[in-house]
Amino acid sequence: MGFKSIRTIAVKAIALISVTVVCTGLMSAHINPATVVADDDLYSTLYDVFRDRDGDPDNFMSQEQLVDSILYYCEQLAGIEYTYGDQEHYLACDGFVSLVLRMTFGTVYNFERTRTKYWCKFDYHEEHILACSYVDKYEVYRPGGTSVTWLYKNYVNTLVEPLFDRAYVEGMTNDDWVEYLQEVGAQPGDIMFWDNDKDKQYWSHISIYAGIEDGVPVMWHASSIKGVVCKQSLEEITCDVAYLDYCSMLPMTDHPARVGLYVTDEAYEKDFSYSIYSDSSCTEYLGRISSVCDLSDQSYLENILIYPNDAHDSYDRTIYVMRDVSPYTSDSGGSEVYQIIISVKPDDGEYGTISYSVYGAADVRYYCSAEITGYNYLEGSKVIPITDYR
């Protein structure tokens, strides 16, 4: 896929025409399906769509936070029983996807569940009518609203450019899926539409791609065959399920750059342990590089994800490194924390220039910087050394 999703500049204009109507005794706004009209361009990701609809895009969650939340709520719904009918307490495939997104956006309230059943509430004051269904401000419907076919026709190649459209996938093995998904740049959280014939009129299933786990591509869905919400391998779907022969995938987020960290030879001369965080207060944990005590013996940390900035011209991220075992302490008496500012600028295809600078997180003291050209930012590698910079 390369930098395809960044080359396609997301159009940030949606014409939403509101007409006040009375529906079942409640005042609701009827919204026509969202369309993109400027320059014949589509949104490049669903993240761009939801961020625009949020009303406060500058404070909308990051792409990484969106994916993390989606996968978290998929886990929370695992085991909910499948239904062919009303989805008030059970879930069909479309209701599962909508409820995951509703929970991610916080537009579902008082959620509770038992072993195979769920309860929740919605606030109609925060909703409007679209395609005869109640939707929130992100135009995500309640479980049981609209249909998979409606979603496909109003999103794929209408609102969002797909990663791949109507691929024949029957019989694809695990290795086939790994190669294909890596080729198109599929990311966890992406939406998968499924069909069983060539007529292109009716789409029968929808799921959430969950990534490649131990070499196996998997997805979350409400399965009529399994009878519950579950995580299932794509190979099992395309080799064992007779009616899911075609697939189309919508990107939830941009393809991220990947950066790996490693410990220098100097640090190898003694025990080391560094914890990596997303925030300066060191609460959002990313991982650890360590050889100390009973901690995992790992000399590097792969695939720190960096999503493109709003201008889509570079990938930028700041991470924080704390030495867990160190002779150095900060002025407050705690462990020294370093701030690493990373930027990746694409040059050609999958390759770009990565630069980083290291500062003290508390005193902004400069320690070092480096620039590396010809870096494969989509595949990632161990390029940033971690040490006691003092």
User: Comparing 260 with 15, which gets the higher pLDDT?
Assistant: 260
Question: Is a pLDDT exceeding 50 seen at residue 39?
Answer: no
Query: Based on the domain organization, do 300 and 317 belong to the same domain?
Result: yes
Question: 39, 41, 42, 61: which is closest to 50 by C-alpha?
Answer: 61
Query: Based on the domain organization, do 63 and 212 belong to the same domain?
Result: yes
What's the mean per-residue pLDDT of the chain?
A: 84
Query: Based on the domain organization, do 58 and 152 belong to the same domain?
Result: yes
> Residues 330-361: pLDDT tens digits?
555 557 899 999 999 998 778 999 999 999 99
Query: Based on the domain organization, do 290 and 235 belong to the same domain?
Result: no
Domain ends where: 184, 219, 253?
253
Query: Based on the domain organization, do 209 and 296 belong to the same domain?
Result: no
Across 55-84, average pLDDT: 96
Q: Which pLDDT score, from 0 to 100, does residue 289 have?
A: 84
Alpha-carbon distance 105 to 73, whole Å?
11
Question: Is a pLDDT exceeding 80 seen at residue 204?
Answer: yes
- 152 touches 131 (CB < 8 A): no
Chain-centroid distance of CA 40 in Å reads 26
Q: What is the pTM of this model?
A: 0.83
Tell me the Cα Rg of the chain.
Answer: 23
Across 19-40, average pLDDT: 32
Give the single-character DSSP code of 125: G
Q: Which pLDDT score, from 0 to 100, does residue 211 have?
A: 95
Alpha-carbon distance 32 to 48, whole Å?
19
Q: Tell me the CATH number at 32.
A: 3.90.1720
Query: Based on the domain organization, do 182 and 41 belong to the same domain?
Result: yes
Query: Based on the domain organization, do 348 and 247 belong to the same domain?
Result: no
Query: Based on the domain organization, do 210 and 324 belong to the same domain?
Result: no
Query: Based on the domain organization, do 160 and 17 belong to the same domain?
Result: yes
- 263 touches 271 (CB < 8 A): no
Q: Total domain count for the chain?
A: 2
Query: Based on the domain organization, do 128 and 29 belong to the same domain?
Result: yes
Domain ends where: 198, 218, 253?
253
Domain ends where: 205, 233, 253?
253
**What are the residues facing 344 on neighbouring strands?**
315, 354
Question: Which residue range forms the structural domain that includes residue 357?
Answer: 257-386
Please count the other Cβ atoms lying within 10 Å of the Cβ belonging to residue 16: 13
Q: Which pLDDT score, from 0 to 100, does residue 40 have?
A: 53
Query: Based on the domain organization, do 237 and 330 belong to the same domain?
Result: no
Residue 22: pLDDT band (50, 70, 90) is very low
Query: Please, how many CA atoms are within 13 Å of residue 94, restricted to the half-sphere of its CB?
Result: 22
Query: Based on the domain organization, do 229 and 306 belong to the same domain?
Result: no
